[in-house]
Chain A
Amino acid sequence: MTGGVNSFQVSGYGPERSGWTRLLARDSVVRRLDWPILLSATVLSLLGTLLVYSATRNRTELNQGDPYYFLVRHLLNTGIGLALMAGTVWLGHRALRTAVPVLYGFSVLLILLVLTPLGSTINGAHSWIKLPGGFSLQPSEFVKVTIILGMAMLLAARVDAGDKQYPDHRTVVQALGLAAVPMLIVMLMPDLGSVMVMVIIVLGVLLASGASNRWVFGLLGAGTLGAVTVWQLGVLDDYQIARFAAFANPALDPAGVGYNTNQARIAIGSGGLTGSGLFHGSQTTGQFVPEQQTDFVFTVAGEELGFLGGGLIILLLGIVLWRACRIARETTDLYGTIVAAGIVAWFAFQTFENVGMTLGIMPVTGLPLPFVSYGGSSMFAVWIAVGLLQSIRVQRPMSA
């Protein structure tokens, strides 16, 4: 049979064919890419550029007097994201497999750096590293990737080698330990939103790995128990409790903790079917919704593009998730399956949480909407994830 690695190397980069022919050949990498995912993610990123621009062109206190400040940077981030994806595809997820320990270690080191004086606090979360040139890095975004890769590497190792049908308990414990270390550090920041995403990622990874039901349900129970314990022990900061309280009762304090949710809902609600038109949303131009270019970017779409625009974003993210699920199901190796499933869990939860909080069905946490929200780290991480998905698809055997 023709393996993925071989066909990739031979047909994609073979020296015998000229550029265009090579690119467009039936079995070329370009032809074998998952175009729905790529197009959807690109459209989402470009749409995000417009929404971020709309939300920030008047915010002189943020854009330093340049209305295009965020537009340019979001485009730049998208470009870098695409490059990172291409790089990931070029390397291939299996080749990366060998580098996983290094990547994992590097990412944990980065989040440890955040806890040192190098880290800085934005919006109550001490999860950033300030870089020269006005850039800042949020390492927890990259940890999401390395946790997926690391756990997939551990869980799939013996199965892919043909030793076992399912990962054994020891492997599962090792994998959980691998995930727990960065999660604990992120929790110390505290960046509760990211921890929640990582919990969901771990769950998704375990589910896809075929680990026994006991682990899956046990983890669910432990998660619930942990949440209750965290709540009871008062580990949470006041602002986090307030956010949850505001979620439970949005009318609680419309000028205070309930302000975000309230204004967000007004913005989206007032959009109607077609919205007020790009750059014409009164809630957006009036800057009634805080953090509108990042966590609350969906409200811009809701207000200015209406149900059609908001629905389009959900649909495009749905396409990405749907294709990712297919990639997980169709790939032949467990490693690829687990990675794809982890990414699905990550994207799905982050989408649901982000859009859900603007719609008032989820509590407010600082999570970006994949591709759409402004933010370099998040953008790079999700595009790397897309690269992994593409790589898994490209390297799976051609169906007969």
Chain B
Amino acid sequence: MTNIPETGRNPRVQIRLVVIQVLVLSLLLTLGGRLWYLQIREGAAYAKEASGNHVQQVVEPAVRGSILDARGVALADNETRLVVSASRTDLLKMKDDGKEVLTKLAKVLGMTPKEVQEKVRLCDAKTPQPCWNGSPYQPIPITDEATPKQALQIRERAEDFPGITAEPEAVRRYPSPGKANTAQVLGYLSPVTDEEIKKAQNTNSPYLRSDQVGRSGLERQYDKALRGKAGVTRYEVDNLGRVIGQAEADPAHPGDNLVTSIDSRVQRIAEYQLNEAMKEARKQHDRNTGTNYKADSGAVVVMEAKTGRVVAMASNPTYDPNAWVGGISAKDYTRLTGKSSNYPLLNRAIQGQSAPGSIFKVIPTAAAVNAGYSFNGPYNCSSSYSIGGQVFKNFESQSHGAISLGRALEVSCDTVFYALSHEEWKRDGGTKPKKNANDWFYKTAHQFGLGKETGIDLPNEVTGRVPDRKWKLDYWKANKDVWCRTGKRNGSYAEKIAYENCLEGNRLRAGDSVNYSIGQGDTLVTPIQMATIYSAISNGGTLYNPSVGKAVISADGKTVTPIKPESHGKLPMTQKTRDEIDEALAGVATRGTAAWRFGGWPQDKIPMHAKTGTAEVYGKQTTSWFATYTKDYSIVMTISQGGTGSGASGPAVRNIYNALYGVSEDGDIDSKKALLPAPQKALPKVKTDGTIASPKVSKDPAKDQQAKKKDPNAPDPLQPATAAPPTPENRDTRRRRRRGSRRCLA
């Protein structure tokens, strides 16, 4: 062929073609090398980045465990509410971002479309409430108060409501069985904070933004057990957040149930009686202030003496714990925490502290015996006791002559304890204490567990205070600047006290030791501490850590973890001294200061022991204290600004005992009416499906008890003052404030 010359094969072209070929080869090798580098060498890092790109967690909340009383009655459980929720991911897949569906939904729910849309929008810096601040992959609740009819409409027309669900959901409920409120013991839940979410983020139980956390009481103490473990489902999502697959799912584990030692019936009666006692006290005239008693707050503890378990614990003022469910309203919050609220959230049984007055006297009694004084004495119960020019009077300036310590407890003779405490104070060196001062009276108080928490399984218990030398010094150091600045030698009473304190507040003075010996002065105790101490006297000397929780039972009922009673020591007394004190306290109930409250009590069948106390607080009305025990229970009640120990608290405590043992006013025991003649030992029965059997609860045990008493033969328990008016012989111990005398000391 001639028309196709062979010029294509000339060397320059040939060389250049080879160059092209080499160039092409090197480009391809570059690609291959780079591909190897990305996929093989750095592959793991990119795989990790890719997985972070497209996985979203959806947390399914665990059903919170119930809190049950000793018989299985629910004090806190969950109620099923119909919650209508919208899935944002589904809505966003629609052409109009779900606007049409939401409008339809608003019509069904009786809301405006705007309301519904606002509920579904996500919170950000520019979006004001209402908005959803949880995970966008979480179904967003629109209402938790849907009626069954609305829910049915939505569910039956599912094709009209894509992405909308109407599901029953568990919401916390405090059912108050038999009107037993138990508010402060149960505590409450409130929404989780950002910090808590962050903290729990990488644990095996992350919080939901919508989660509730126990904030006080048992809800807080046992939060971890009650909360269970939230289920986590990891979804793969695309770049717009649309779910394209499910990666892995951990199912939710419902929370454990907590069985407490509370008996809801006794709890109700304790709450009712405390409230009645306070109402009654407010009708009583206070001679000292010239007004009626204010009875502004009070608490009562019913404890199993042999275990320290709390059968009932009431604090007044109180509140409805359901106020917290579903988020507390601003109004309710102010009502519960505002300045004028009188702080109903406080559990005054463990968080209220005040001077114990004469119920403290068992401690100086034991202290005196330990210091080497004879129990039998005799000791002179004079009408007054003087130190220097300062005169400390006995209650109503009574005098009982030479008596034993036991009799001193019975009649609550102050001067006997003044003398003993003052003598020990002098022995320890007075205002210039010896190096190895025995400080028997203070040491004993510490050994009784005062000045520190009892270790009850409730949060934020307060310690009370033993005003010993160390405390005096610390307190002086902390306050001397203020005292020395405000104190005036010839000023008002408060200014004079400040002046005194500035000069010598660092030292334990004779007057301090005298006041301390009868539970006055700077001494502070909590009702739970006193219940623990009187239980210990009852049970032979063991100081149990009070407990409310009795057992933790898993949701399936298969794992039962009992909470065993634990002790934090023994009372510092011999068995003999305990028996002597025990006898004296029985004497208080039969012939001493509390006898008028236990008229007709079947002492031979159910030996009752009691001690009354009326503590003075500067600038306030007297605090009523009443500490009692039988072989099984101890009950301690206190009413702030309530009057005398037996006067204000006596009838209420008697009524609680009546209910426990089925005792009528005239002393008959009807075991059928007895709510709890012996402490409930067994745990409630767990059914095979994991639920816990619970007995029927009467509508209001307190009303039942009253109905019993409406028996025409029985005296009206609500009018105890008229039934047995106080007489000078068996009235409460009560002291005048040593105002004048104090001045002399200065």
Give Cα A286–Cα B27 distance, bound, in whole angstroms: 31
Q: Is A209 an interface residue (CB 8 A)?
A: yes
Q: Are B13 and A334 in contact (CB under 8 A)?
A: yes
Q: Is B693 an interface residue (CB 8 A)?
A: no
Which residue, of B8, B28, B35, B54, has the highest number of chain A Cβ atoms within 10 A?
B8
Q: Are A270 and B50 in contact (CB under 8 A)?
A: yes
Q: Are A288 and B5 in contact (CB under 8 A)?
A: no
Residues of chain B lying within 8 A (CB to CB) of residue A68: none
Residues of chain A lying within 8 A (CB to CB) of residue B47: 269-270, 272
Residues of chain A lying within 8 A (CB to CB) of residue B50: 266-267, 269-270, 282-283, 303
B233-241, B268-276, B399-407, B607-615 - interface stretch = B233-241
Q: Is A336 an interface residue (CB 8 A)?
A: yes
Q: Which of B4, B34, B244 contacts A58 (CB 8 A)?
A: B244
Q: Which of B10, B12, B35, B54 contacts A359 (CB 8 A)?
A: B35
Smallest beta-carbon distance B570→chain A, Å:
66
A-B contact pairs, 25 of them (CB 8 A): A2-B1, A3-B3, A159-B5, A208-B13, A208-B17, A266-B46, A268-B35, A269-B45, A269-B47, A271-B39, A273-B40, A282-B53, A285-B236, A310-B39, A318-B25, A325-B17, A325-B20, A329-B14, A332-B5, A332-B8, A333-B4, A351-B28, A355-B31, A355-B35, A359-B38
Smallest beta-carbon distance B92→chain A, Å:
13
Given contacts A268-B46, A307-B35, whether A160 and B7 have CB atoms under 8 Å apart is yes
Q: Are A352 and B238 in contact (CB under 8 A)?
A: no
Q: Which of B7, B14, B40, B245 contacts A307 (CB 8 A)?
A: B40
Give Cα A337–Cα B9 distance, bound, in whole angstroms: 9
Give Cα A263–Cα B43 distance, bound, in whole angstroms: 14
Residues of chain A lying within 8 A (CB to CB) of residue B13: 208-210, 334, 337
Residues of chain B lying within 8 A (CB to CB) of residue A6: 1
Give Cα A287–Cα B243 distance, bound, in whole angstroms: 12
Smallest beta-carbon distance A92→chain B, Å:
13
Q: Is B51 an interface residue (CB 8 A)?
A: yes
Q: Which of B17, B30, B45, B49 contacts A341 (CB 8 A)?
A: B17
Q: Are B46 and A336 in contact (CB under 8 A)?
A: no
Q: Are B7 and A314 in contact (CB under 8 A)?
A: no
Q: For chain A, residues 299 to 343, give those with C-beta under 8 angstroms from any C-beta of chain B.
A: 302-303, 306-307, 310-311, 314, 317-318, 321-322, 325, 328-329, 331-334, 336-337, 341
Q: Is A166 an interface residue (CB 8 A)?
A: yes
Of chain A, the residue at the smallest CB distance from B17 is A329
List 8 tightest A-B contacts by C-beta distance, closest first.
Answer: A269-B46, A3-B1, A270-B50, A286-B238, A325-B21, A270-B47, A272-B43, A307-B39
Interface size class, chain A: 35 or more
Of chain A, the residue at the smallest CB distance from B18 is A329
Of chain B, the residue at the smallest CB distance from A269 is B46
Of chain A, the residue at the smallest CB distance from B50 is A270
Residues of chain B lying within 8 A (CB to CB) of residue A131: none
Smallest beta-carbon distance B348→chain A, Å:
57
Residues of chain B lying within 8 A (CB to CB) of residue A359: 31, 34-35, 38
Give Cα A87–Cα B28 distance, bound, in whole angstroms: 30
Give Cα A333–Cα B24 distance, bound, in whole angstroms: 22
Residues of chain B lying within 8 A (CB to CB) of residue A263: 53
Give Cα A285–Cα B18 distance, bound, in whole angstroms: 43
Q: Are A283 and B34 in contact (CB under 8 A)?
A: no
Q: Are B31 and A322 in contact (CB under 8 A)?
A: no
Give Cα A269–Cα B51 distance, bound, in whole angstroms: 12
Q: Is A207 an interface residue (CB 8 A)?
A: yes
Q: Please list the residues of chain B having a beta carbon within 8 angstroms of any beta carbon in chain A.
A: 1, 3-10, 12-14, 16-21, 23-25, 27-28, 30-32, 34-36, 38-40, 42-47, 49-51, 53-54, 236-240, 244-245
Smallest beta-carbon distance B176→chain A, Å:
51
Smallest beta-carbon distance A96→chain B, Å:
16
Of chain A, the residue at the smallest CB distance from B37 is A359
Residues of chain A lying within 8 A (CB to CB) of residue B25: 318, 322
Of chain A, the residue at the smallest CB distance from B34 is A359
Given contacts A162-B7, A283-B53, A286-B237, whether A272 and B39 have CB atoms under 8 Å apart is yes
Of chain A, the residue at the smallest CB distance from B1 is A3
Residues of chain B lying within 8 A (CB to CB) of residue A285: 236, 238, 244-245
Residues of chain B lying within 8 A (CB to CB) of residue A161: 5
Residues of chain A lying within 8 A (CB to CB) of residue B53: 263, 266, 282-283, 286, 288
Give Cα A329–Cα B15 distance, bound, in whole angstroms: 9
Give Cα A340–Cα B45 distance, bound, in whole angstroms: 42
Residues of chain A lying within 8 A (CB to CB) of residue B236: 282, 285-286
Residues of chain B lying within 8 A (CB to CB) of residue A351: 27-28, 31
Residues of chain B lying within 8 A (CB to CB) of residue A269: 38-39, 42-43, 45-47, 49-50
Q: For chain A, residues 345 to 378, give those with C-beta under 8 angstroms from any C-beta of chain B.
A: 345, 348, 351-352, 355-356, 359-361
Residues of chain B lying within 8 A (CB to CB) of residue A341: 17, 20
Smallest beta-carbon distance A63→chain B, Å:
15
Q: Are B38 and A268 in contact (CB under 8 A)?
A: yes
Give Cα A63–Cα B27 distance, bound, in whole angstroms: 35
Which residue, of A207, A263, A303, has the highest number of chain B Cβ atoms within 10 A?
A207
Interface 1/0 per residue, A1-30 and B, CB below 8 Å: 111101000000000000000000000000
Q: Is A174 an interface residue (CB 8 A)?
A: no
Given contacts A269-B38, A282-B51, A285-B238, whether A311 and B32 have CB atoms under 8 Å apart is yes
Q: Which of B7, B39, B42, B239 contacts A306 (CB 8 A)?
A: B39
Give Cα A209–Cα B12 distance, bound, in whole angstroms: 9
Interface 1/0 per residue, A112-148 and B, CB below 8 Å: 0000000000000000000000000000000000000
Given contacts A270-B43, A325-B24, A332-B8, whether A265 and B38 have CB atoms under 8 Å apart is yes
Residues of chain B lying within 8 A (CB to CB) of residue A268: 35, 38-39, 46
Residues of chain B lying within 8 A (CB to CB) of residue A356: 30-31, 34
Q: Is A165 an interface residue (CB 8 A)?
A: yes
Residues of chain A lying within 8 A (CB to CB) of residue B36: 307
Residues of chain A lying within 8 A (CB to CB) of residue B31: 314, 351-352, 355-356, 359
Q: Are B4 and A166 in contact (CB under 8 A)?
A: no
Residues of chain A lying within 8 A (CB to CB) of residue B27: 348, 351-352
Residues of chain B lying within 8 A (CB to CB) of residue A361: 30, 34
Give Cα A345–Cα B27 distance, bound, in whole angstroms: 11
Q: Are A287 and B39 in contact (CB under 8 A)?
A: no
Which residue, of A4, A166, A209, A329, has the highest number of chain B Cβ atoms within 10 A?
A329
Smallest beta-carbon distance B95→chain A, Å:
10
Residues of chain B lying within 8 A (CB to CB) of residue A387: none
Known: A287-B239, A322-B21. 10 other contacts (CB 8 A): A160-B7, A269-B38, A282-B51, A285-B236, A310-B39, A311-B35, A318-B25, A344-B21, A352-B27, A359-B38
Residues of chain B lying within 8 A (CB to CB) of residue A271: 39, 43
Give Cα A361–Cα B31 distance, bound, in whole angstroms: 9
Of chain A, the residue at the smallest CB distance from B11 is A210
Q: Is A204 an interface residue (CB 8 A)?
A: yes
Residues of chain A lying within 8 A (CB to CB) of residue B40: 272-273, 307
Q: Are A208 and B16 in contact (CB under 8 A)?
A: yes
Of chain B, the residue at the smallest CB distance from A60 is B93
Residues of chain A lying within 8 A (CB to CB) of residue B28: 314, 317-318, 321, 348, 351-352
Smallest beta-carbon distance B166→chain A, Å:
28
Smallest beta-carbon distance B1→chain A, Å:
4
Q: Are B17 and A1 in contact (CB under 8 A)?
A: no
Residues of chain B lying within 8 A (CB to CB) of residue A208: 13, 16-17, 20
Given contacts A210-B12, A270-B46, A333-B8, whether A328 and B17 have CB atoms under 8 Å apart is yes
Q: For chain A, residues 235 to 249, give those with C-beta under 8 angstroms from any C-beta of chain B.
A: none
Give Cα A268–Cα B236 distance, bound, in whole angstroms: 18
Residues of chain B lying within 8 A (CB to CB) of residue A336: 8
Q: Are A287 and B238 in contact (CB under 8 A)?
A: yes
Q: Are B4 and A3 in contact (CB under 8 A)?
A: yes
Smallest beta-carbon distance A142→chain B, Å:
23
Of chain B, the residue at the smallest CB distance from A204 is B20
Give Cα A314–Cα B38 distance, bound, in whole angstroms: 15
Given contacts A207-B19, A272-B43, whether A344 and B4 have CB atoms under 8 Å apart is no
Q: Are B240 and A287 in contact (CB under 8 A)?
A: yes
Q: For chain A, residues 187 to 228, give those with C-beta under 8 angstroms from any C-beta of chain B.
A: 204, 207-210
